[in-house]
Amino acid sequence: MSSNPQYLSGNEIRNIFLDFFAQRNHQILPSASLVPEDPTVLLTIAGMLPFKPIFLGQRTPEFKRATTSQKCIRTNDIENVGRTKRHQTFFEMLGNFSFGDYFKEQAIAWGWEISTQVFGISPQNLVVSVFKDDDEAFGIWRDQIGVPIARIKRLGEDDNFWVSGPTGPCGPCSEIYYDFHPERGDENIDLEDDSRFIEFYNLVFMQYNRDASGNLTPLQNKNIDTGMGLERIAQILQKVPNNYETDLIFPIIQTAAEIAGIEYHKSDEKTKVSLKVIGDHVRSVVHMIADEIRASNVGRGYVLRRLIRRVVRHGRLIGISGEFTTQVAETAIALSESAYPNVRQREAAIKAELQREESNFLRTLDRGEKLLEEIIQEVKQRGETQISGESAFTLYDTYGFPLELTQEVAEENNLTVDEAGFDAEMQKQVERAKAAHETIDLTVQGSLDKLAEHIQVTEFIGYTQSAATAKVEAILVEGVSQEEAEVGTEVQIVLDKTPFYGESGGQIGDRGYISGDGIVVRVEDVKKESDFFVHFGRIERGTLRVGDHVTAQIDPACRRRAQANHTATHLLQAALKKIVDDSISQAGSLVSFDRLRFDFNCPRALTAEEVQQIEEQVNTWIAEAHAAKVEVLPLAEAKARGAVAMFGEKYGDEVRVIDFPNVSMELCGGTHVSNTAEIGVFKIISEAGVASGVRRIEAVSGPAILDYLNLRDKVVKDLSDRFKVKPEELPDRITSLQSELRTSQKELETLKVQLAIAKSDSLLQTAQTVGDSKIIVAQLEDVDPESLKTAAERLLQKIGNGAVVLGSVPEQGKVSIVAAFSSEVNKKGLQAGKFVGAIAKICGGGGGGRPNLAQAGGRDASKLPEALEKAESELKSALG
């Protein structure tokens, strides 16, 4: 390796780092998915997160040393992206890890060696920090590495003591900073000065366990967890002013600039910020979609949708009017594919998701522009000169309308925007986001983190056994560890071995019993927390104690149902690929005892013919009695054979493969039938869309088919009895009744309109002359909205130049208001849509429509007289 390397690309830096530690007996491991195994975290936010079970002592590491380049996403500081030199949502964390092997001395020595000798950074450009009480680390830096005392800074707990959460593994850390201006000397060094220093390598010395009282006890096995930000070290070595101008991100920025017809280096700061946001966020969304995250309004799907919308918004700000995200995504894919091949493999899915979300959001932006027009008109009507911060934030958060664009449009209309109010609303959102992302919570199911070093992980034997003798390792009551629990108590039990399947891979946990000497516990659910199987149940007899030897017995009937439904999902996916599209992939699943649910990526609804073909294909495979072949294979070999991976699952070096030869082969840890014939029958209940580009099939199979048929039979018999016809005559009878109902409804609508007209005609004599117009404002009793509209139009036609406002309470809790204005009234500045919407707010509602005719609704009927009084007053004021 060169001691004075020339320009290094981001890819070269990554490879050099991994090779450096591989030569020092570290196993190079691939990056984990951005969908973490840890259920307490939405996304993978740190390089150490995939190793959480090892740090907790719940899983024995296969290697004592490891090194990774882990892709991460954090969005708690999203508003700083593009505005600072270093904030990003997507970043790669280079790391070296020791699991009970080397510790501080070696970690520090290697950290210094790779920084100075391998990457060629001058020691004069480096400053290190240590925890204020960590004399050991201070001494290593000073005496063994030779860093001058003036360039070793002691920092407090907030900066240099790493914690996983309120409890759990923790320890001091040491950080290496790059000094851009060593000529300023060593006096008064302030590591908070971002213009001078950037922290690029963090060494965490995980040596303690913190309990609920805050007490620190030394860990039996001390661990090393380090992180070197790839983008930060690239900025330093490539000598560019910020992370965005490294070769990891800048080509994306250049693509966006070319589409906009601008040049990055000649742009103003505001434009550069937008280009940086696009460059960063596009990397995030490409990798998120590659890891099978789909845009939605909840969870990580919402994070993805928000990032895509920010890309589109900032594209608008720099002058891009059409769709462009797939073009910049192509650049991001090309930059990443050598290190992360799945981005190229998922290219079609990435571009399809981006195109769909961008197209939908552009329509949303159009609606935002219309809403802004209405807000401006309302502000002017009130005689005000400022758009409220709340309104501006609603435009920003709901419609993706940037504050800058709102300000520009407001300025064109001689208005301002309450920036302080907007910032206050934004701060509330930032605080909510930070609360969800600030820490990596390593606790597992209440007290399990404190028990992790003292109890045995659960051995699962449920593939071959339905019952087993086991030892009670832990008892939790409401998440708190207990030594014993009495009859009637809801408990969570950890055993040293279990035949109970723990909920994972879409399959729910087994049911059954745990029994012993005078003890019976009914188990209602089982969840897998890291390598512990937690049995949720209720003690029905006796007192259960830690250390008891018990018999764990699953409910075989429930297991058979789950097995049938789980194998059926595999056959269903194979049928979808065969009949609809081979590129279809799973987007989620549920395997329960009574039904199965399978979500899959597909841009369109299936035809009735396709659904029938899929059902017939699955039943054909069932009838053909294909035997299952279950193997444990190296992951690479399983993939080479064509095994399909299940959505959201994490795989080790060896995987369990469920193969029904020539039908289906998947990586799966679930329980399955040994032969497809055991399923019996498969029936699709429904096919529907559940999100943009995601469809859902619900079905039943095996023993659950009888339940389904019994329910349907009961419904048919009931309907036959009610209609006094045979089952086969039901369709004709229902069609006849529907026809009769439609005829009756039409007659009723005609009568309602006639009644409303009759009632309204009596209002002609109440018309008031205001200026050169006439107005009628009145309440009609028990008139539905459509009839109310007809009555208002008729009255306006009869009075000519004027305005009619009618209100009614068609049913409890509902208010209907209609406004009909003549063209002469419109010319005086009154528009029915805006007028009736403002009036309806008095009744707790809103609405709108055309300038000449509009309708609104409300909820508070008691306020209708007040609303109509307000309407009359405003009409007289405007027309008089």
Note whether 481 and 447 are within 8 A (CB).
yes
654 and 544, same structural domain? no
Task: Could you list the residues known to form a binding site for Zn(2+), using ranges.
Answer: 566, 570, 668, 672
567 and 530, same structural domain? no
pLDDT at 444 over 60: no
| Tokens found for residue 18 | 């991994």
Note whether 367 and 390 are within 8 A (CB).
no
43 and 108, same structural domain? yes
Query: In the predicted model, what is the mean pLDDT of residues 415-431?
Result: 84
According to the per-residue pLDDT averaged within each range, which of 84-88, 163-167, 569-573, 725-729 is highest?
A: 569-573
The DSSP letter of residue 167 is S
Phi, psi for 818 (deg, rounded to 5): -125, 140
CA atoms of 672 and 651, how far apart (whole Å) = 19
Instruction: Classify burial at 738, counting beta carbons within 10 Å of its beta carbon; exposed 0-12, middle 13-18, buried 19 or more.
Output: exposed
Beta bridge partners of 98: 65, 224
Please check whether residue 5 lies inside any domain of the structure.
Answer: no
Phi, psi for 385 (deg, rounded to 5): -125, 5
Provide the CATH number for the domain around residue 792.
3.10.310.40
CA atoms of 320 and 90, how far apart (whole Å) = 23
**How sure is the predictor about 842, in pLDDT bands with cuts at 50, 70 and 90?**
very high
Residue type (1 letter), 274: S
pLDDT in tens, 381-419: 888 889 999 899 888 877 767 787 788 778 878 889 999
205 and 326, same structural domain? no
How many Å from the N-terminal Cα to the C-terminal Cα in the chain? 89
**How sure is the predictor about 850, in pLDDT bands with cuts at 50, 70 and 90?**
confident
CA atoms of 650 and 666, how far apart (whole Å) = 13
CA atoms of 422 and 438, how far apart (whole Å) = 23
pLDDT in tens, 470-528: 999 999 887 778 889 999 999 999 999 999 999 987 899 999 999 999 999 999 999 98
Provide the phi-psi class of 217: left if phi over 0, else alpha when psi is between -120 and 50, else beta: beta
Please check whether residue 654 lies inside any domain of the structure.
Answer: yes
Pairing of strands 644-645, 664-667: parallel
Domain boundary among 554, 588, 604: 554
Query: In the predicted model, what is the mean pLDDT of residues 76-102?
Result: 88
Whole-number pLDDT of residue 86: 81
Phi, psi for 298 (deg, rounded to 5): -135, 155
239 and 98, same structural domain? yes
| Tokens found for residue 314 | 């900032």
Note whether 159 and 129 are within 8 A (CB).
yes
Beta bridge partners of 435: none
Which residue, among 797, 751, 746, 753, has the nearest Cα to 776 in the 3D structure? 797
pLDDT at 3 over 80: no
CA atoms of 309 and 695, how far apart (whole Å) = 23
Task: Could you list the residues known to form a binding site, using ranges.
Answer: 566, 570, 668, 672
Query: In the predicted model, what is the mean pLDDT of residues 646-656?
Result: 68
pLDDT at 205 over 60: yes
pLDDT in tens, 552-573: 999 999 999 999 999 999 999 9
765 and 680, same structural domain? no
Beta bridge partners of 802: 774
The domain containing residue 820 runs over which residues? 760-879
Whether the CA torsion 70, 46, 73, 404 is positive or negative: it is negative
CA atoms of 63 and 122, how far apart (whole Å) = 33
Phi, psi for 32 (deg, rounded to 5): -75, 165
The per-residue pLDDT of the chain, averaged, comes to 88
pLDDT at 2 over 50: no
568 and 536, same structural domain? no
Q: What is this structure's pTM?
A: 0.58
Please check whether residue 647 lies inside any domain of the structure.
Answer: yes
Instruction: Classify burial at 430, counting beta carbons within 10 Å of its beta carbon; exposed 0-12, middle 13-18, buried 19 or more.
Output: middle
Helix boundaries (H) for 47-103: 52-55
105 and 225, same structural domain? yes
For 544-669, strand residue ranges (E) read: 544-545, 549-554, 586-591, 596-601, 629-634, 644-645, 654-660, 664-667
Selected residue with higher pLDDT from 748 and 842: 842
Which residue, among 32, 30, 44, has the nearest Cα to 440 in the 3D structure? 44
677 and 589, same structural domain? yes
Please check whether residue 374 lies inside any domain of the structure.
Answer: no
Provide the CATH number for the domain around residue 689.
3.30.980.10
pLDDT in tens, 576-625: 999 998 888 888 889 999 999 999 888 888 999 999 999 999 999 999 99
Note whether 837 and 817 are within 8 A (CB).
no
Residue type (1 letter), 809: V
Phi, psi for 516 (deg, rounded to 5): -160, -155
Whole-number pLDDT of residue 1: 40
pLDDT at 749 over 80: no
CA atoms of 735 and 470, how far apart (whole Å) = 61
Beta bridge partners of 68: 95
Domain boundary among 247, 263, 288: 247
Please check whether residue 734 lies inside any domain of the structure.
Answer: no
pLDDT in tens, 684-700: 999 988 776 788 999 99
- Using DSSP, state whether 251 is helix, strand or coil: helix
Note whether 67 and 103 are within 8 A (CB).
no
Instruction: Classify burial at 119, counting beta carbons within 10 Å of its beta carbon; exposed 0-12, middle 13-18, buried 19 or more.
Output: buried
Helix boundaries (H) for 205-268: 230-238, 250-260
Q: How far is CA 492 from CA 435, 447, 479, 483, 520, in A?
A: 28, 11, 8, 12, 14
**Whose structure tokens read 């009909």?**
820
CA atoms of 283 and 91, how far apart (whole Å) = 9
Please check whether residue 220 lies inside any domain of the structure.
Answer: yes
Torsion, CA 102, CA 106, CA 108, CA 109, rounded to 10? -160
pLDDT at 103 over 80: yes
Whether the CA torsion 553, 556, 558, 564 is positive or negative: it is positive
43 and 102, same structural domain? yes
Instruction: Classify burial at 488, counting beta carbons within 10 Å of its beta carbon; exposed 0-12, middle 13-18, buried 19 or more.
Output: exposed
Domain boundary among 228, 247, 266: 247
- Using DSSP, state whether 16 is helix, strand or coil: helix
Provide the CATH number for the domain around residue 63.
3.30.930.10
Beta bridge partners of 847: 856
| Tokens found for residue 295 | 């845009």
CA atoms of 858 and 807, how far apart (whole Å) = 10
220 and 101, same structural domain? yes
pLDDT at 4 over 50: no
Count of domains for the chain = 5
Which residue, among 460, 695, 657, has the nearest Cα to 570 in the 3D structure? 657
Phi, psi for 419 (deg, rounded to 5): -65, -40
Helix boundaries (H) for 487-597: 556-579
**How sure is the predictor about 437, in pLDDT bands with cuts at 50, 70 and 90?**
very low
pLDDT in tens, 26-67: 999 999 999 887 766 789 888 888 888 788 777 788 889 999
Helix boundaries (H) for 132-182: 135-139, 157-160
Please check whether residue 726 lies inside any domain of the structure.
Answer: no
205 and 190, same structural domain? yes
According to the per-residue pLDDT averaged within each range, which of 166-170, 727-731, 767-771 is highest?
A: 767-771
Sheet holding 654-660, edge to edge: 629-634, 654-660, 664-667, 644-645
**How sure is the predictor about 451, in pLDDT bands with cuts at 50, 70 and 90?**
low
Q: Write down the number of H helices and E strands in the chain.
A: 25, 36
CA atoms of 795 and 790, how far apart (whole Å) = 9
The H-or-E segment that residue 306 falls in is: helix 299-317
Please check whether residue 438 lies inside any domain of the structure.
Answer: no
Provide the phi-psi class of 55: left if phi over 0, else alpha when psi is between -120 and 50, else beta: alpha
Cα angle value 723/728/733 (rounded, 5°): 40
**Whose structure tokens read 């000449």?**
852
Beta bridge partners of 819: 805, 854
Tell me what percent of the residues of the chain surpass a pLDDT of 70. 94
- In DSSP notation, 18-61 reads HHHHHTTTPEE-PPPPSS-S-TT-SS--STTGGGHHHHTTSS--
